[in-house]
């Protein structure tokens, strides 16, 4: 890579709004000062968007207004000027009839927010299932420096019954307890207790469902800071990571480090290999192919099938295993998982911190081999994803053997 900085102040995209000497430039500067922004802050600093998918009806993102403040702190410390832009919040459980109806709507919203406003770079705050691919598809098409700040996962719960304590998470466990409630093995009191406990903290679902699959794949694509996607939402490390995101995006703007430089066939290969080693959600097939197409990278179901036949499931996480995302974080998270599948990775793929995936793996350790297994002791040899074709699905269907 070239040595930064590549860009000068005069070359920033936001200069088109604020350096203009005509009436339009006057109005832009005037209207920013109307809300208390100093003239020098828009004239002498890069303007950094924070796309925030917070809402009161998106519990997985309940903490993102506070995290936006942490991102702003990092941007200001690095000499940028932060501007927060709210975007459609697709809370998976609340939105009817289905969030998938709105994923491309969110992609269009993010792309057009960034295009129509004086943004030199963007930090994205998202994580619930469709919000990760939706926001990133828009940012990839816009192709300005982009850093993804994952919402982080919710904390584990413990359920004690008949003297036996077991860890409990969202999604799969809800269905399991519902079956027991229907069968009369759980009474109304216990059912209401579960309702108030199972999702006991803000953050995305803590099984290896679509949310954790997509944020982990985003880290493997090189679009998050190393280790960011596994940090629980309520851990103080999450707030510090958000500040790091704000600080780093300003560097990326001066370096002109854009998605088009980071997203290659190698990075999409890495994301798919991580999906397989995680036992990730089959929904990822829909999203990662859409993201690859935005980046102009050919990725097909057959490519995913081929990687799935080589990379076994190593992460002992629900629903393929019996642990949750909090345990995955303690075991070393995505960097530790990538260390285990290092022979299957494109190590030269670049990441937002300006270093390659291979460089970022130096010094990484697996802290709990029961949660992140080695290649010679997988959770299962059956892949996380396999592709079927036939008269019911001539263009292909995906199943989850694990
Ligand atoms: Fe938001 Fe599961 S409902 S991640």
Q: What is the pLDDT of residue 160?
A: 87
Residue 2 reports pLDDT greater than 70: no
Task: Categorize the per-residue pLDDT at 383 as very low, low, confident or very high, splitting at 50, 70 and 90.
Answer: confident
Torsion-angle region of 80 (φ positive above 0: left; ψ -120 to 50: alpha; else: beta): beta
What is the arithmetic mean of pLDDT over 295-301? 97
Residues 166 and 12: their CA atoms lie apart, in Å, by: 54
Query: Strand, helix or coil at 355?
Result: coil
Q: What is the pLDDT of residue 167?
A: 87
**What contacts 268, CB < 8 A, 6 or more positions away?**
221, 288, 291, 292, 295, 297, 299
- 224 CA to centre of ligand 1 in angstroms: 19
Inform me whether the pLDDT recorded for 364 exceeds 60. yes
User: Which residue has 């263009």 as its token pair?
Assistant: 395
51-80 mean pLDDT? 98
In this predicted structure, the answer to whether residue 113 has a pLDDT above a threshold of 60 is yes
Ligand 1 centre from 73 Cα, in Å? 27
Per the prediction, the chain carries an average pLDDT of 95
Residue with the smallest CA separation from ligand 1 atom 1 is 128
Instruction: Output the DSSP codes for 210-231.
Output: HHHHHHHHHHHHT-S-TTGGGS
Please identify which residue in the block is written with the tokens 């920033």.
12
Other CB atoms within 10 Å distance of the CB of residue 344: 18
Out of 89, 100, 128, mutate this one to test ligand 1's pocket (max ligand atoms within 8 Å of CB): namely 128
What's the pLDDT tens digit per position in 137-164?
999 999 999 999 999 999 998 888 889 9
Interval between CA 47 and ligand 1 midpoint (Å): 31
Give ligand 1 pocket residues (Cβ under 6 A). 60, 92-93, 128-129, 204-205, 209, 211
Nearest to 401 by CA among 343, 330, 341, 319: 319
d(CA 185, CA 22): 74
Tell me the C-alpha distance between 266 and 272, whole Å.
10
Q: Are 349 and 266 in contact (CB under 8 A)?
A: yes
Mutate to test the pocket of ligand 1, among 98, 131, 150, 211 (most ligand atoms within 8 A of CB): 211
d(CA 178, CA 195): 11
| Better pLDDT: 383 or 347 | 347
Report the phi/psi class of residue 333: left, alpha or beta, with left for phi > 0 and alpha for psi in -120 to 50.
left
Which residues neighbour 93 within 8 Å (Cβ) at sequence distance 6 or greater? Answer: 59
Mean pLDDT of 218-234: 98
- Closest ligand 1 atom to residue 92 Cα is 3
Confidence band for 5, pLDDT divided at 50, 70 and 90:
low
Nearest to 122 by CA among 149, 98, 103, 95: 149
Residue 59 has pLDDT above 90, yes or no: yes
**Minimum-distance ligand 1 atom for the alpha carbon of 209:** 2
**How many CB atoms neighbour CB 117 within 10 A?**
14
Residues 148-207: pLDDT tens digits? 999 999 999 888 888 998 888 887 788 889 999 999 999 999 999 999 989 999 999 999
Distance 265 CA to ligand 1 centre (A): 29
pLDDT at 3: 64
Share of the chain above pLDDT 70, in %: 99
Q: For the sheet containing 81-86, what is the strand order? A: 81-86, 47-52, 121-126, 146-150
User: Of ligand 1's atoms, which has the minimum distance to the CA of residue 60?
Assistant: 1
Q: What is the pLDDT of residue 374?
A: 97
Distance (Å) from CA 153 to ligand 1 centroid = 9
Mutate to test the pocket of ligand 1, among 126, 205, 283 (most ligand atoms within 8 A of CB): 205
Note the pTM of the prediction, 2 decimals: 0.96
The whole-number pLDDT of residue 7 equals: 92
Beta bridge partners of 153: 204, 232
Tokens 């070393």 -> residue:
332
- Compute the distance from residue 16 Cα to the ligand 1 centre, in Å: 39
Instruction: Tell whether the model's pLDDT for residue 4 goes beyond 80.
Output: no
- What pLDDT is recorded for position 72? 98
Q: Which atom of ligand 1 is nearest to the CA of 61?
A: 1
């Amino acid at each position: 890579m070239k040595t930064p900085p590549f860009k000068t102040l005069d070359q920033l995209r936001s200069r088109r709004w604020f350096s203009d000497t005509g009436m339009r430039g006057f109005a832009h500067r005037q209207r920013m000062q109307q809300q208390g922004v100093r003239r020098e802050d828009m004239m002498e600093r890069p303007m950094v968007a924070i796309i925030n998918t917070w809402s009161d009806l998106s519990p997985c993102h309940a903490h993102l207004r506070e995290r936006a403040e942490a991102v702003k702190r990092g941007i200001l410390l690095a000499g940028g000027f932060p501007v927060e832009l709210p975007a459609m919040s697709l809370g998976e459980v609340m939105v009817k009839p289905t969030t998938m109806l709105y994923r491309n709507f969110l992609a269009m919203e993010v792309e057009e927010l960034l295009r129509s406003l004086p943004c030199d770079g963007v930090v994205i705050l998202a994580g619930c299932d469709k919000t990760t691919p939706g926001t990133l598809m828009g940012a990839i098409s816009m192709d300005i420096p982009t850093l993804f700040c994952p919402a982080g996962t919710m904390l584990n719960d413990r359920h004690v019954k008949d003297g036996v304590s077991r860890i409990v998470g969202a999604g799969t466990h809800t269905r399991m307890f519902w079956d027991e409630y229907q069968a009369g093995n759980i009474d109304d009191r216990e059912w209401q207790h579960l309702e108030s406990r199972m999702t006991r903290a803000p953050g995305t679902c803590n099984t290896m469902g679509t949310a954790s699959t997509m944020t982990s794949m985003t880290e493997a694509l090189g679009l998050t800071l190393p280790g960011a996607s596994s940090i629980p939402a309520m851990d103080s490390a999450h707030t510090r990571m958000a500040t790091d995101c704000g600080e780093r995006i300003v560097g990326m703007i001066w370096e002109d480090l854009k998605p088009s430089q980071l997203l290659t066939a190698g990075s999409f290969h890495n994301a798919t290999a991580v999906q397989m080693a995680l036992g990730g959600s089959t929904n990822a097939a829909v999203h990662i192919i859409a993201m690859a197409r935005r980046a102009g990278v050919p990725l097909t179901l057959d490519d995913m099938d081929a990687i799935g036949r080589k990379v076994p499931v190593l992460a002992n996480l629900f629903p393929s295993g019996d642990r949750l995302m909090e345990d995955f974080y303690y075991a070393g998270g995505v960097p530790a998982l990538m260390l285990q599948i290092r022979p299957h990775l494109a190590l030269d793929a670049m990441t937002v911190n300006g270093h390659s995936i291979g460089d970022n793996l130096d010094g990484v350790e697996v802290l709990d081999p029961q949660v992140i297994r080695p290649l010679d002791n997988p959770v299962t040899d059956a892949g996380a994803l396999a592709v079927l074709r036939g008269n019911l699905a001539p263009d292909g269907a995906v199943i989850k053997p694990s």
